[in-house]
Amino acid sequence: MNEKHSILYVDDEESNLRVFKSTFRREFNIYIANSAREGMMILENSNIDVVITDQRMPEITGVEFLKQIHERFPHIPPSRLILSGFSKDEEIDVAFEKYKLFKFVSKPWNADDLREVILKAIEIKENGK
């Protein structure tokens, strides 16, 4: 029996969280958080395979959230995604270089395309690259 992989999705918009969870809940264990602080609490208490974050949030950006993860949980593999309609290229470049960003996915996302990116991130995590 295959155990479901766990995904944490952090976004300040409740509607985005609901759509993501309803789209992927049959395939994955979905954890949602509407703030970086809540996302960090989930990471402290759960085994997460893929972290997905929005870039523009009120308290911190997705890149800043990835920096916090990198500093507090360096053992978490590079299965980190930013899912956003807004970005500054320089910030995203820093996330790739320093904070183990695997992929930037633009909103609005396509479920099939995002599923493929998530599965690729999981495959890389399991194979160690």
User: What's the pTM?
Assistant: 0.90
Q: What share of the chain is helix, strand, coil (3-state, %, to 5)?
A: 45, 20, 35
Has residue 2 been placed in a domain?
Answer: no
Residue 129 binned pLDDT confidence (cut-offs 50, 70, 90): low
**Coil, helix or strand for 126?**
helix
Has residue 83 been placed in a domain?
Answer: yes
Question: What is the spatial distance between Cα 97 and Cα 57, in angstroms, rounded to a whole number?
Answer: 21
Has residue 128 been placed in a domain?
Answer: no
Question: What is the spatial distance between Cα 63 and Cα 54, in angstroms, rounded to a whole number?
Answer: 9
Has residue 73 been placed in a domain?
Answer: yes
Has residue 118 been placed in a domain?
Answer: no
Has residue 1 been placed in a domain?
Answer: no
Q: How many domains does the chain have?
A: 1
Mean pLDDT of 24-44: 96
Residue 19's domain comprises: 7-105
| Tokens describing residue 92 | 């995203």
Has residue 25 been placed in a domain?
Answer: yes
Residue 79 binned pLDDT confidence (cut-offs 50, 70, 90): confident
pLDDT in tens, 109-118: 999 999 999 9
CATH at residue 62: 3.40.50.2300
Has residue 110 been placed in a domain?
Answer: no
